[in-house]
A and B are shown apart, each in its own frame.
Chain A
């Protein structure tokens, strides 16, 4: 996972609430077994017409937003399924930061795990940033995770809250599996205790399935 420290880039305005994961990446594109290559299918149903041509009205088909690295949107972004293909598609397109009043839980979680920073800011502030985003290519936003601020094109700084552990992992591009594996002694200890209290959870009942066809 790439570390996230500071990002200065073009922000695309997406003034929609409840953007669900089927909108971000429709189910028919989930058949990949890789993490990459989904960028072209990001927002496919909004971005392309039925004949496969680009819908010129959709923001990511317009200049300079084709090069957006930040997305500014409305409430409950990422609701719906648990598919991690949603952050993968955003990432593959080039988006590293999504700013919204709030996010659906699983999407929020998944973003951090893929090096995407979800920033929660009040609706009025998001609307302001959306106005900034509408100014186009010369009006870049800066998202500084170190200092926890978003810098508007006019220099105004808006601070945001973020969970300290997540900030730490993101700043350093750390994988949390490695972190947890260091705790394997506690996990062993838990299993020993649980096995004594609930031995039925440790039966050999599943042996029969072990033979995959």
Chain B
């Protein structure tokens, strides 16, 4: 396994977790951390119960509720929706029955699973991390191998602490140069998906590299890795470095003292070796990145905010033209229309892509001293109870409230139409989440993905807005 052949970050973590290779080449991979939430686990626990199997490694597992819960005070008095309530209650029953560590709704540490894993130091560099949720790729920003799994695999990990895996191909996306003003990690990843498409990473694990990525703080790195799945990749990763170690140090579940030093020593051996071969390489010049926004119903359909709605008739082939026509129609657009002319009804700042304290600060910087435009509903949903507390200590909640934003409790909220925070048919939303599929934020809802600053800018002008104009004082 070790040998002299140069290896990638992915190869190294994969090799370090190989329990056994089956005769056909499938790997039995050890899983260090398994994060469990209420939506994709009930049938897995049911399977264990039926087969009379226990959870193999309780200390490798932690459960939290995030998808179904309301993000206002009503969550503490019980969930109205009977099905949501059953799902949450089922998880609570399951963690009790199987003795799984659980962070309850009333705990300050509760939040979106992909925010709290790193925040608590449950997710660490060099680990294999899984969760029944595709955005598990987020944790790869720590230099971990983290990916989403289905419910059958959740059951497999609960029972065996392993997964059957085929080795993925290696892909590297290198971004070089200084990020232009007004651009953020979210704009980088939207630009990448726009370039390689939603199937661009299929079968691959993406490593993000280059000076632009190195310069990102951890929040930015989480945003980039988060959307790897939107590029079709199994996982996204960034080599651990000093930024990573500083972030991890002192977190509740991170190694302490001498153990920390030993861990760092190992983590430092993880970055891709010089000369390692990637099956696919993509390069991006940061100077070319502009504040991005999605216009269609697939995350690859993004444009610079300065762009105009495409003409479906210019699609490459009939299938694409049909798809473009459907998107233009669903999104209620006119070809040639300027994106900055699109009025928004709702602004959503939150989700596992952009709900960390840095995201709250970026949005607050735009909101400060301004007002949410007439007729716009703008909500800010911190990713965890601890992000919320931190923001309140910094007075950001007051900035948002004075500007007319709603300041909510932690959860997935309007990222997906599964809890009370939903769009109504036809509503247009500037959203910092990661998916703009039809109906994602509620049936008939129209999603425009963008960065927190861009979303806040849309809130104060009432339409999609180039955040650079706000910075220049034009609004």
Chain A residues at the B interface, C-beta cutoff of 8 Å: 15-18, 20, 22-23, 26-28, 30-35, 45, 50, 74-76, 79-84, 87, 102, 104-106, 109-110, 113-114, 163-165, 176-177, 180-181, 183-184, 186-187, 189-191, 194, 197-206, 209-210, 212-213
Contacts and interface: CB of A to CB of B under 8 A. Distances in A.
B22 interface: yes
20 contacts: A27-B418, A30-B39, A31-B83, A33-B42, A76-B199, A83-B39, A83-B40, A104-B232, A106-B134, A164-B24, A165-B24, A176-B164, A177-B156, A181-B160, A184-B160, A187-B28, A198-B263, A199-B259, A200-B262, A213-B104
Contacts of A31: 39, 68, 81, 83-84, 86-87, 418
A13 to B, nearest CB: 13
A35 B266 CA distance: 42
B443 A110 contact: no
B466 interface: no
Q: Interface size bucket, B side?
A: 35 or more
Contacts of A181: 53, 159-160
B59 A177 contact: no
B118 interface: no
B77 to A, nearest CB: 15
A22 B86 CA distance: 22
A31 to B, nearest CB: 4
B28 A183 contact: yes
A123 B167 CA distance: 26
Interface string B66-94: 01100000000000010110110010100
Nearest to B85: A31
B382 interface: no
Contact of A17 (B103, B127, B323): B323
Interface stretch (B143-151, B346-354, B454-462): B143-151
B20 A186 contact: yes
A202 B59 contact: yes
Contacts of B46: 33-34
Interface string B394-437: 00000000000000000000001110000001000000000101
Contact of A204 (B59, B67, B81, B148): B59
B268 interface: no
Contacts of A183: 19-20, 28, 160, 162
Contacts of A81: 133-134, 148, 435
Interface in B44-67: 46-47, 51, 53, 56-59, 62, 67
Given A27-B417, A31-B84, A203-B253, 5 more contacts: A22-B439, A80-B134, A80-B437, A200-B255, A205-B252
Given A20-B437, A30-B39, A106 B30 contact: no
A206 B435 contact: no
A37 B149 CA distance: 22
B280 interface: no
A186 B28 contact: yes
Interface string B91-117: 010011001111110100000000000
B241 interface: no
B139 interface: no
A209 B101 contact: yes
B185 to A, nearest CB: 21
Given A28-B418, A187-B162, A200-B259, A212 B102 contact: yes
B438 interface: yes
B62 A206 contact: yes
B444 interface: yes
B221 interface: no
A116 B368 CA distance: 53
B153 A113 contact: yes
A68 to B, nearest CB: 21
Nearest to A200: B255
